[in-house]
Amino acid sequence: MNKSTKIIVEIVLLLACIGIVYLIYSSIMQPVRFNKQKAYRESVAVQRLKDIRTLEVAYKSTTGKYTDNIDSLLNFYSNGKMEVMLQVGSADDSLAVANTEQLKKKGATIEDLKARYFAGEKNLVFSTRSEIAVKDTIFHNREDFIPDSLRYIPFSGKKPVVLKAVVKPVSGVEVPLFEADVPYDILLKGLDKQLIINAKADCRDKNRYEGLQVGSIDSPNNNAGNWE
């Protein structure tokens, strides 16, 4: 073998070694990259499911049942009202407590106390039920909250979240139930197909939904998420 041929062979071997090292590195890093992206997408989807749960619970507190219609849920958020308990004054304010008790002994009702409070008398302590706009109660301090985003599975090109609601007998009692699903096939679309298959198989092995899910229409679970 002459010198030129030897140099060519050495270069070819070097390039082959570099290629093998790259393939080994890539095969090691592929699951790492997948898990990092999976965790990120799941974190966004979990927050969305938590927000849906919050609205569903508020919706039920007003209507007595859950809804499987996302338009109804978003309309409830934008235009609905809910009853809340408001605390006026502080129970730690002994002077306000004493003043309020004296007024009650004289026959003052909650409506009387409210009238006095709104007339400017602040030395009072009482609780009262009041209707307040849903959007002024829920998520009102979330500057990043976009109601319409609750419709869609993140990173899916606007594929809808699977929303279900039923009323079914549980131990002889009719119980409202709801469920919101984000399947891995949609949430993780575009990532490594085999690793998605593996993630779904891991869920099956654990007898879990193949994706993220909050609530259950099969049996009461206190509206828990399967990530909790």
* Digit-coded pLDDT (tens) for 123-178: 888 887 778 899 988 988 888 889 999 999 999 999 999 999 999 998 889 999 99
What is residue 89's predicted lDDT score, i.e. its pLDDT? 84
- Rounded to two decimals, what is the model's pTM? 0.76
**For 26-61, what is each residue's pLDDT tens digit?**
555 678 889 999 999 999 999 999 999 999 999 999
Contact 153, 45 (CB under 8 A): yes
Contact 182, 160 (CB under 8 A): no
Contact 96, 117 (CB under 8 A): no
What is residue 47's predicted lDDT score, i.e. its pLDDT? 96
Sign (positive/negative) of CA torsion 151, 55, 59, 181? positive
What confidence category does residue 195 fall into, taking pLDDT thresholds of 50, 70 and 90?
Answer: very high
127: left (phi over 0), alpha (psi -120 to 50) or beta: beta
Chain centroid to Cα 179, Å, comes to 12
What is residue 190's predicted lDDT score, i.e. its pLDDT? 93
What confidence category does residue 65 fall into, taking pLDDT thresholds of 50, 70 and 90?
Answer: very high
Kindly report the average pLDDT of the chain as a whole number.
87
**Average pLDDT over every residue of 110-127:** 84
The runs of H, that is alpha helices, within the chain are: 3-63, 70-79, 94-105, 110-118, 184-187, 193-205
Sort strands 173-183 and 162-170 into parallel, antiparallel or unpaired. Answer: antiparallel
Residue 79 carries which side chain, given as an amino acid letter? N
| Phi–psi pair at 97, nearest 5 degrees | -65, -45
What is residue 193's predicted lDDT score, i.e. its pLDDT? 93
The greatest distance separating any two alpha carbons of the chain, rounded to the nearest whole angstrom, comes to 116
Sort strands 126-133 and 162-170 into parallel, antiparallel or unpaired. Answer: unpaired
What is residue 73's predicted lDDT score, i.e. its pLDDT? 95
What is residue 216's predicted lDDT score, i.e. its pLDDT? 95
What is residue 12's predicted lDDT score, i.e. its pLDDT? 64
Helix (H) or strand (E) holding 89, with range, is none
